Amino acid sequence: MKLGRLNHVGIATPSIERSLDMYRRVFGAEPVSPAFDLPAQGVKVCFVDAPNMQVELIEPLGPDSPIAKFLEKNPEGGQHHVCFEVPDIEAARAHFDGLGTRILGPTRIGAHGTPIFFLHPKDMGGVLTEIMESPRQAH
Amino acid sequence: MKLGRLNHVGIATPSIERSLDMYRRVFGAEPVSPAFDLPAQGVKVCFVDAPNMQVELIEPLGPDSPIAKFLEKNPEGGQHHVCFEVPDIEAARAHFDGLGTRILGPTRIGAHGTPIFFLHPKDMGGVLTEIMESPRQAH
């Protein structure tokens, strides 16, 4: 499998609103659309466009959020994961399974409406890595 | 100033060689060129291409390396910084200075041979951010 396009960098934040203030002030950047909840993943997310990828801001939905522990260690937020695209999520899952790269949980629908899964940072040089099926172009 | 192209994600590693083994095995990815030393920055670096950006692997050159402390906290390595391009480094520096965003040290020549500087993570939502003048296209 070839290294695909970087879809986004995931950045954890205690407050998407505060982070958006910073992106506006520093980079004149507006969110692509309003922040929205992903209750199944325990997070609220919001995307900001750079010319060749997106920044995904991630805020915990509650104290049990999977990013709550990250924010305890990094109260101001910080780089949480990187997300690379693949053409076929099931083929990618079989590829990583075959290599013994640990996959965190089931394949599920991500923030872009396409299937995703996460690879364990301990098998990825310390980097939590999301694998995402490329969104299909609208016809 | 507009949010520019993401040039690379910087990933600290205790061993570029070991990280490259992982990128080869997992993603069939080869480095763009052999690893090289940046003695002025106390690091050795190596770039791996994704279709729309690069992964910069960074290994400390010695115990005084600026990334030595990061690796003490993250012994397996991890996401260290993100790097966005700007058309004009001096204009960018004046922009951030004017906003009161803390700049870490002088403007210097980065791994791509163009001028760069770093912004303090405390002013950037916990994200160490490199600002890099876009490489000019060869004629």
Write out pLDDT tens, residues A72-103. Answer: 999 999 999 999 999 999 999 999 999 999 99
* Interface confidence: ipTM more than 0.90: yes
Q: What is the mean pLDDT of residues B109-115?
A: 93
Q: In a 3-state reduction of DSSP, which class is residue A67?
A: coil
pLDDT at A138 over 70: no
**Does residue B103 belong to the interface with chain A, where contact is any CB pair within 8 Å?**
no
Q: What is the mean pLDDT of residues B27-46?
A: 93
**Set of chain A residues whose Cβ sits within 8 Å of the Cβ of B79:** 79, 82, 126-127
B79/chain A closest Cα distance in angstroms:
6
- In whole angstroms, give the CA distance from residue A78 to residue B129: 11
Neighbours of B64 (CB within 10 A): 8
Q: Contact at 8 Å (CB) between B11 and A125?
A: yes
- What is the pLDDT at residue A137? 67
Q: What is the mean pLDDT of residues A43-55?
A: 97
Domain edges within chain A: 6-133
pLDDT at B139 over 70: no
Residue recorded with tokens 């899952």:
A93
Helices (H), chain A: 16-27, 68-73, 89-99
A54/chain B closest Cα distance in angstroms:
9
- What is the pLDDT at residue B110? 92
Q: Which two tokens stand for residue B8?
A: 């690379």
CATH architecture of the region B6-133:
Roll (3.10)
- What is the pLDDT at residue B137? 67
Residue type, B3: L
pLDDT at B81 over 70: yes
**Does residue B2 belong to the interface with chain A, where contact is any CB pair within 8 Å?**
yes
Does residue A17 have an active-site annotation? Answer: no
The CA-atom distances, in angstroms, between A91 and each of A87, A96, A97, A133 are 9, 9, 10, 10
**Set of chain B residues whose Cβ sits within 8 Å of the Cβ of A9:** 6, 9, 82
